[in-house]
Structure 1
């Protein structure tokens, strides 16, 4: 098995998924405004709900999809995530109410897990003495997608409107199925169906893991809480600019650039 080829394939896939999922961030609040949520407080609340719904359902489903991967393999889990996320994201182009958008965002998180599963796949196929290099390289794909995605999404939404961007996003995610299905090797180890899984109680009995969990939780709240309100804040600075979505995407992308630079220090 050529593990370096697997790294290249999954790097491309992670880039496309990350770019696709972040394309919609700059204009979520603007789309809600277009749907009729015009009162500022309500707009902030709905923006927070729609933005966080994906992450909430993803957190709930992560252990379940992990067990699915153990039973059917990581590659099958990648295909499952790509199909679910791509199709549901495309359906958002036809949502005409805040509640419909909220439900679809929740369902995207329900079927998500592509990036997490790709790391699990590489952990199996890469030799231990190259695991740090491989996983670090794969991480740059996600970071690059997070940098490019908001810029592209903001520009496209300013030029063509909000809804076509959902179709572009869905296409980007579905396109990852081609390299996964035709080029990515099958799991090197047969899934173990009789293997005992540790319970949540056993997992959280390890104090370092609990500390890491809490720290990660707080960091994500800080980062994602700001991102969800970025467009509203930018609008308060520049007013109703015709390039508001692009400016918001630029502000979000700068965060990704800073994260990428920090990894080199």
Structure 2
């Protein structure tokens, strides 16, 4: 079987900062290839009034606490920050991590985040248009930052929309993330390939990542056969993180 990379998304809800940081250190010591968190302001499931932490400052702590794994947001809500500021934040995290950062980005979808923090929710179409405009600005700002990133700071785009998101991915991204099941991932990946042909891009330049739950670990062979090169386990908790599923996934690598 083809070797694949293993990542873990440590969800910053229903836990403590001490437990998040301990889980990131433990995952790094286990030899994961990547560590991620998410960019929301409230829990996505469980108690809607439960503990929750902001993503980029959480990621900064993880960058300082680890030494091996690449790090990123799966994914940043584009509507939450000025694009130039986001480029600078990602470049700074890249320096803190000695060149291990991704810049993960998506159009944004969680209406509560927008409403409670004063961002315009708009429509799916307006958010996708804003994502494409932001990517132009982010790339331009990264090229002007002094000092530049230490690493290659790949841009990852999350989403599976076939008419717009995958076209944007083909044009701008170094990596792409979506979900299963394997047959859906295979279909979306083939649509991305077609968009790459349309915009004149080598599809092999775009890393294919898939986010899975613990219940999907037994399907990892099918995801790899469908084209995934990087499998990211989504890990939630109530208190300290239990990384048994991550250990199972690593064993299959």
- TM-score w.r.t. length of structure 2: 0.29
Task: Compare the two structures and name the one with the higher helix fraction.
Answer: 1
Q: Which one scores higher on RCO, CA 8 angstroms, separation ≥ 6?
A: 1
- TM-score w.r.t. length of structure 1: 0.28
Task: Compare the two structures and name the one with the higher strand fraction.
Answer: 2
